[in-house]
Amino acid sequence: MRCLVTGATGYIGGRLAPRLLAEGHTVRCLARKAARLRDVPWAARAEVIEGDLRKPDTLPAAFEGVEVAYYLVHSLGQAGFEAADREAATNFAAAARAAGVRRIVYLGGPEPTEDRDVPSPHLRSRAEVARILLDSGVPTAVLRAAVIIGSGSASFEMLRYLTERLPGMITPRWVRNQIQPIAVRDVLHYLIGCAGLPPEVNRAFDIAGPDALTFEDMMQRYARVTGLPRRVILPVRLLTPALSSYWVGLITPVPNAIARPLVESLVHEAVAHEHDIARYVPDPPDGLTGFDQAVTLALAKVRDAEVETRWSTASGPDAPAEPLPSDPEWSGGTAYTDLREREVGAPAGALWRVIEGVGGEHGWYSFPLAWSVRGWLDQLAGGVGLRRGRRDPHRLQVGEALDFWRVEEIVPGELLRLRAEMRLPGRAWLEMRAEPAGDGRSRYVQRAVFLPHGLVGHLYWGSVLPFHAIIFGGMARNIALGAEQTAPHPTQP
């Protein structure tokens, strides 16, 4: 089936396109800038066409020959987003009708309950787009989802940052409104399944996970899944949606322009009122994903072996939970990084010998007293300290202990990656690279990465930051100097 995916550079579209390809569909992506998909691995198997839904003359080529068109765009975060979304949906509907598209699939928001006279602008806009598409003359399936649980989802990122950074908080009353979140993998399951709906189906469906929770419940359960202490949450009347959005913007990196309409939508109850979608698209074989499992999947992709908090891999059934390169910079959780680079007047082979000799009797090439003190403190805290040393003074193997580190990856002559095993309020890695630079020279690249756990983790990073110039800066400088001093020099005539 030939599918058009709009919003392929966004959160859902970027995850749906590779899944459609894996299912054997032909995928065409409409993007305002094709270059944004240039480095995405699956893009080479899809057709990418530049176009803008607000410029109708750019659309006919994108819709030509398309059987199923996915509408996965929104203008949230822009001034006047309601008018922009109205225009884009109207143009999309007209282009789909003119091209003879057989099915439109749209992922919208929950239908506001009658507890409020005026829905939030965000939900109002989503409902208006749904009406435009349902009235387009093209059979349309509208999937109404509340909070989507997956790394990169704006709602999930708000939940992540608020819970991780605040052990206690004063919150607005809406934290006790009922919400029925859904895992991103289940959203994608239904989106793909809707491509095969019979032509007489032209309606909206509620989609949701098995757990109906309050936002407060979600914060407490997120804390439990991630091993954080129970959060102290005190709802008060004073925080209006507007004040709440500024509070969210202060605590989290989610831009206020996005946080505000999302917060305003949370004043509505958001639970599923029917599950009719299962009559046409059966639930996943292993059932819908519960909240705790969805959180675990969303966080599991920050894998020890990768260090990075954002990457793109295969399109298997577990892939959609992970961050993608096209996700916003503020998504994916916090990763603190200390990066050092040095030009080395010695070949990469000489530099690598110094790198592989790190630790044990050779030490860590900077401020020995500081490393010793850190080792003693770690032992006092019940950690391994520096007493383990190293197995061999010249060679390392993946999996072996190295002082209070563990060798996680080695690419001989190029890369050494160590995972910290000292007591820390988070997870940490130290990566050292030797890169050839030509003319008998090389470049040393050193990167320390810390993923904080809770507020204590953020405070820890801030407390040690002043010492990084001495510890990590001295380490980079002395490793480079050691390579230059030990490199063989050509015989002088």
Question: Percentage helix, strand, coil, to 5, in the chain?
Answer: 40, 20, 40
Q: How far, in Å, CA of 410 to CA of 399, rounded?
A: 10
Could you give phi then psi for residue 365, rounded to 5 degrees? Answer: 65, 15
Please name which of 82, 76, 143, 120 lies closest in space to residue 268, comparing C-alpha atoms: 120
| CA distance to 72, 111, 155, 304, per residue, from 124 (Å) | 16, 9, 17, 42
What top-level class would CATH report for the domain 336-486? alpha beta
The pLDDT averaged over each successive group of 10 residues in the chain (493 residues) is: 93 92 95 85 91 94 97 80 93 97 95 60 87 97 94 84 84 82 96 96 96 92 93 78 68 69 72 94 94 89 38 35 54 81 95 94 87 85 83 90 91 94 90 93 94 87 90 94 80 42
Question: What pLDDT does residue 349 have?
Answer: 94
Residue carrying structure tokens 């239908």: 111
Would you say the CATH fold of 336-486 matches that of 2-321? no
Question: Do residues 422 and 404 make contact, with C-beta atoms less than 8 angstroms apart?
Answer: yes
Model confidence pTM above 0.85: no
| DSSP letter (8 states) at residue 341 | E
Q: How far, in Å, CA of 314 to CA of 318, rounded?
A: 9
- The ranges assigned to domains in the chain are 2-321, 336-486
CATH topology of domain 2-321: Rossmann fold (3.40.50)
Question: What pLDDT does residue 324 have?
Answer: 55
Question: What pLDDT does residue 255 have?
Answer: 67
Question: What pLDDT does residue 327 have?
Answer: 60
Three-state DSSP at 358 gives coil
Question: Do residues 11 and 327 make contact, with C-beta atoms less than 8 angstroms apart?
Answer: yes
| CA distance to 7, 82, 114, 153, 471, per residue, from 132 (Å) | 18, 13, 22, 25, 60
